[in-house]
Amino acid sequence: MKLAARVGQVTPSITLAIAAKAKAMKLEGIDVCSFSAGEPDFDTPAHIKAAAEKALADGKTKYGPAAGEPGLRQAIANKLQKENGLCYSAENVIVTNGGKHSLFNLMMALIDAGDEVIIPAPYWLSYPEMVKLVGGTPVIVATDTQAGCKITPDQLRQALTPRTKLLILNSPSNPTGMVYTPDEVRALAAVVVESGIWVVSDEIYEKLLYDGAQHLSIGAVSAAVFDRTIISNGFAKAYSMTGWRIGYLAGPVDLIKAASTVQGHSTSNVCTFAQYGAIAALESSQDCVEEMRRAFADRRQVMLDGINSIPGVSCPKPDGAFYLFPNIAKTGMKSLEFCDALLESQQVAVIPGVAFGADDHIRLSYATDMPTIEKGVERLAKFVHQFV
Ligand code: GLU
């Protein structure tokens, strides 16, 4: 069969593939420690589930507006105003089938063939693939590990060309966990404004901050950058709602209307009754988010101490998200070989850094329980010991 050329340039999601493999091995009775997909192990908080159950019982089972239930669009706009200082109303928001889908809608609505999209590396593995799927050109900018894997204003300036359309900013970052400081965000905002490009800020990990790190949404820096900003976010990571598939995109009305048209011809609305769970998530107490964040903070410390005590492996302390991104170069292996051998011989599932544009690294998610973290890190140490 001759498939469309666009599919030929795109690689399948390694995170999803390795997570599925680890789950299948578990089902076979194999004792796997999975640090693969970034999926909180907590159940969705009970009040969120209850709100969706009530909506289901109340008959919220029909098609809804493609852009989302009006009540949820308004709740999201309120959240963005109150928490992020972004002056949006409901018409600036579209509810999507997860954060990934919000970014895909954005690419469909904004990127033309040949448009360049600047992506700082290490990057979340779906960014370049989405750009390619819509005919755009990903422009990967390597960042300095010593400088926290963050793109600098100078690096951004150097990557600009007349074809540059969009910068993808992701803080806290998947896969590194690093967080841009407010000053760093302001400095990047100045380049966005002076160059007249667009910036999409992927803020899916904004609630997962540690050691006093602060999240500043780039759109809140000034009115000028607000006009060039699009926000992508969702419910999966903060509220442990990965399987619900609810995300959102916020930005200028024209863009949101275009994304709604795309959505109207592709997925239609997000599951109607699930959206009522999302309203409850935003409008009820945020204590559940803080409880999970604290658990992640403890797990981060245990995993980080364990990994940094392994000779030959080193990892900086990240301020956000729930990932560690250690360097494994001293083992003499590239990341794919390392990850395959680790899963095969020790039944520990991690993601090869090559998928994120950093082949000397592996990514571990600590969004899993403490006994798994302790056992998995012990096995990792045993594995690395053979090579270093
Ligand atoms: N975003 C998560 C991760 O990077 C979930 C998997 C995926 O969507 O690729 O692990």
174 C-beta closer than 6 A to ligand 1 = yes
Q: What is the pLDDT of residue 146?
A: 83
CB 29 within 8 A of CB 17: no
Q: Name the domain count of the chain.
A: 2
Domain boundary among 259, 283, 307: 283
279 plus 293 within the same structural domain: no
* pLDDT number for residue 63: 98
Q: Is 100 in the pocket of ligand 1 (CB under 6 A)?
A: yes
Indicate if 80 and 216 belong to the same structural domain. yes
Distance 58 CA to ligand 1 centre (A): 33
Tell me, what's the pLDDT at 159? 98
Answer yes or no: do 53 and 188 share one domain.
Answer: yes
pTM of the model: 0.97
Distances (CA, A) of 230 to 63, 110, 128, 201: 27, 11, 18, 6
Q: What residues does 167 pair with on adjacent strands?
A: 118, 199
Residue 155 sits in the same domain as residue 249: yes
Parent domain of 137: 48-283
Per-residue pLDDT tens digits for 146-165: 889 999 999 999 999 999 99
Instruction: Answer yes or no: do 224 and 322 share one domain.
Output: no
- Span from the CA of 193 to the centroid of ligand 1 (angstroms): 31
Last residue of a domain, one of 223, 249, 283: 283
Give the pair of three-digit tokens for residue 326: 């250690």
The long-range contacts involving 73-76, CB below 8 angstroms and separated by at least 24 positions, are: 75/278, 75/279, 75/282, 75/283, 76/248, 76/250, 76/282
Q: Are 115 and 206 part of one and the same domain?
A: yes
For ligand 1, pick from 11, 21, 100, 102 the residue to mutate: most ligand atoms within 8 Å of CB.
Answer: 100
* Residue 352 resides in a domain: yes
Asked whether residue 150 is assigned to any structural domain, the reply reads yes
Query: Do 70 and 152 have their domain in common?
Result: yes
In a domain, 37, yes or no: no
Residue 36 lies in a domain: no
Which of ligand 1's atoms lies nearest the C-alpha of 365?
10
Same domain, 96 and 139: yes
Q: Are residues 181 and 317 in the same domain?
A: no
Residue 38 located in a structural domain: no
Q: What is the pLDDT of residues 85-121, one digit of tens each?
A: 999 999 999 999 999 999 999 999 999 999 999 999 9
Domain contains 250? yes
H or E stretch including 83? Answer: helix 70-84
CATH of the domain at 87: 3.40.640.10
Q: Which of 239, 256, 283 is the last residue of a domain?
A: 283
Residue 41 falls within a domain, yes or no? no
The dihedral through the CA atoms of 29, 34, 38, 43 has a sign that is: positive
- With a 6 Å cutoff on the Cβ, whether 15 touches ligand 1 is yes
Q: Are residues 318 and 370 in the same domain?
A: yes
Q: Which atom of ligand 1 is nearest to the CA of 242?
A: 5
Q: How far apart are CA 12 and CA 126, in angstroms?
A: 9
CA of 341 from ligand 1 middle (Å) equals: 22
Testing ligand 1's pocket by substitution, the residue of 10, 16, 103 carrying the most ligand atoms inside 8 A of its CB is: 16
Q: Does residue 293 share a domain with residue 245?
A: no
Tokens of 350: 């991690």
* Residue from 15, 101, 176, 205 to probe ligand 1 pocket by mutation (most atoms less than 8 Å from CB): 15
Q: How far is the CA of 323 from the centre of ligand 1 (A)?
A: 11
Distances (CA, A) of 70 to 60, 64, 269, 272, 274: 13, 9, 12, 11, 14
Q: What is the CATH number of the domain that holds 18?
A: 3.90.1150.10
pLDDT for the residue 276: 98
| 273, 55 contact by CB (below 8 A) | yes
In a domain, 43, yes or no: no
In the chain, the amino acid numbered 167 is L
Please indicate whether residue 363, judged by its CB atom, sits closer than 6 Å to ligand 1: no
Per-residue pLDDT 10s for the chain (388 aa) are 999 999 998 988 999 989 999 999 999 999 999 999 999 999 999 999 999 999 999 999 999 999 999 999 999 999 999 999 999 999 999 999 999 999 999 999 999 999 999 999 999 999 999 999 999 999 999 999 888 999 999 999 999 999 999 999 999 999 999 999 999 999 999 999 999 999 999 999 999 999 999 999 999 999 999 999 999 999 999 999 999 999 999 999 999 999 999 999 999 999 999 999 999 999 999 999 999 999 999 999 999 999 999 999 999 999 999 999 999 999 999 999 999 999 999 999 999 999 999 999 999 999 999 999 999 999 999 999 999 9
- In the reported structure, the alpha carbon of residue 16 is separated from the centroid of ligand 1 by a whole-number distance in angstroms of 7
Ligand 1 close to Cβ of residue 20 (< 6 A): no
- DSSP code, position 98: S
Could you tell me if 100 and 23 lie in one domain? no
pLDDT, residue 289, reads 98
